[in-house]
Structure 1
Amino acid sequence: MDCIDLETCEVFQGAEGPTAPLICVIDLPEHPFGIAEAAQGRRASVARIPIAAWGDNLTPWPEPGLRDGDAPFGGHGDRTLRELLDSVVPALERCHGIRPRALAICGYSLGGLFAFHAFCRDAHLIACASLSGSLWYEGLVEDLERHPFDGAGRYAYFSLGKKEPRSGAPIMRRVQARMERCAELCRAYGCDVDIAMGPGNHMQHHQERLEAGISALDSFLGRQDDGHDTMCPD
């Protein structure tokens, strides 16, 4: 596959068994998050989805790098989304004997940008968690304003460290304002929304934010109607 290494994907089956909802967590192959630990004791199943070249494969459209001399962002996120839903999730179903009745997505940093953009683009994903998400990305809010979606019965969770708006490249310092605008638009489109502000900067408290995000998704998914049709296309 072009963007996702299927062989290194993992599934941690939830307490509700093969038909439990599935939370797809975007991961770094080189520096993996503690997804196995965060998946313990959940009703929903959790899938680890390693994606290489984050700057290319998780961004929604091409943009210049953050600083002069930085590599540009490739903007292949829509291709990655189609690979995830059309190929990877069905393959995980076959390999692990699962048939999730609902899908959610979770990611950190550029993974959080991708998770939120994917949620807005595809109604198969009924919930998302954008953890310290790169929602400062140029054009994201404007795209969301131009493309309203039906958020009824869906859920978005956002988290951010309190120090994040005070560090990084100038464009990154607008992250809290952009996150709050994304949350406002999601509510206007009918979504349930939660925002969690925590301690630290972008490079701190990864595990705490991951566990809180998965917990929020697990709680939301546990309240949903088991018969809700949210399957990926075969």
Structure 2
Amino acid sequence: MNPRVIYLIGEETEKLLPLVEDLDIVLVSIEGIDWERDLTPWEAPAAFKGQADFSGKADDFIRVMLEKIIPEAEKDLTVSDKNRSIAGYSLGGLFALYAALKTNEFSGAASMSGSLWYDGWIDFLEKEIGPDRHMKVYLSLGDKEERSRNPRMARVGDWTRKTSELLAEDGFEVFFEINEGNHFFEIPERIAKGVRWISEGK
């Protein structure tokens, strides 16, 4: 058996499953995550006052995925990196794209309403991608997300568009979609769109 395996970072799995049950995929949901620690690529100040700062331990969590989660999930499967993708929402979307760029383990990444406003993200992207890195990348945002009163989060539109441009310039197969609503609108449906695109290419 050589299926397409998609690793989903975060919650919403129960609501998502009916929306993708027609796809020929193995969906591995990774939950119980410390989002501010495990999904952030480097240290950064908290998004809002009174919250803990982001501790930037994504590299450690990538190591856990490569050494424990993926081997366990695929122990009864025959999976090549050409059939393995990663997807996530919000900080999970940031992590999904970061993990896909930092390793050679994934052929596709879906970042739905990804936190691509994260401090230092564009600088990382400009250094990390290159002509030898190619994969399918799905990006999406809600049409109200960049209207945030938080100035860091308000740049999410510009930085997501810039991410799309940089990846496309270097030969990645990129699809960028704008959905209706704010960051919290129809989350399972948005995740399903990304999972479907990296599974089918449409």
The 3 A distance-change label for structure 1 pair 168 and 55 is farther
Structure 2 counterpart of 1:146: 127
Q: Deviations over 1:192-232 (max 9, x none)?
A: 00001010000111021011111101113x9xxxxxxxxxx
- Determine if contact 2:97/2:111 at 8 Å carries over to the other structure: yes
More helix by share: 2
Partners in 2 of 1:168 and 1:83 — Cα distance?
35
Partners in 2 of 1:85 and 1:168 — Cα distance?
38
**Which runs of structure 2 are paired with 1:169-184 in the superposition (5 Å)?**
169-184=150-165
The 3 A distance-change label for structure 1 pair 116 and 51 is farther
Pick aligned residue for 2:108 from 127, 133, 139: 127
Partners in 1 of 2:65 and 2:198 — Cα distance?
19
Q: What is the TM-score of this pair, normalised by structure 2?
A: 0.92
Task: Tell me how far 1:32 sits from its aligned partner.
Answer: 5.2
Structure 1 counterpart of 2:199: 218
SS in 2 for 1:137: coil
Partners in 2 of 1:78 and 1:87 — Cα distance?
14
Partners in 2 of 1:24 and 1:67 — Cα distance?
29
Partners in 1 of 2:95 and 2:5 — Cα distance?
17
Partners in 1 of 2:164 and 2:101 — Cα distance?
12
Partners in 2 of 1:119 and 1:33 — Cα distance?
25
- Determine if contact 1:112/1:133 at 8 Å carries over to the other structure: yes
SS in 1 for 2:108: strand
Partners in 2 of 1:118 and 1:35 — Cα distance?
22
Of the structure 1 ranges 127-136 and 73-82, higher mean CA displacement relative to structure 2 is found in 73-82
- Determine if contact 1:129/1:217 at 8 Å carries over to the other structure: yes
SS in 2 for 1:113: helix
Percent of pairs with identical residues: 32
**Structure 2 residue 2 is the aligned partner of structure 1 residue 19:** yes
Pick aligned residue for 1:100 from 79, 87, 110: 79
The 3 A distance-change label for structure 1 pair 145 and 51 is farther
- Determine if contact 1:60/1:76 at 8 Å carries over to the other structure: yes
Task: Tell me how far 1:168 sits from its aligned partner.
Answer: 4.8
SS in 2 for 1:46: strand
Task: Tell me how far 1:33 sits from its aligned partner.
Answer: 5.6
Pick aligned residue for 1:85 from 62, 66, 89: 66
Residue type of the alignment partner of 2:48:
R
Pick aligned residue for 2:173 from 162, 174, 192: 192
Q: Deviations over 1:48-94 (max 9, x none)?
A: 11142101110000111123332100101111111112211111122
Where does structure 1 lack aligned partners over 5 or more consecutive residues?
Answer: 1-17, 223-234
- Determine if contact 1:38/1:214 at 8 Å carries over to the other structure: no
- Determine if contact 1:26/1:106 at 8 Å carries over to the other structure: yes
Task: Tell me how far 1:164 sits from its aligned partner.
Answer: 0.4
Residue type of the alignment partner of 2:4:
P
Report the count of equivalent residues: 199
Partners in 1 of 2:174 and 2:77 — Cα distance?
28
Q: Deviations over 1:155-194 (max 9, x none)?
A: 1100100000002521000001000111111112210000
Q: What is the TM-score of this pair, normalised by structure 1?
A: 0.80
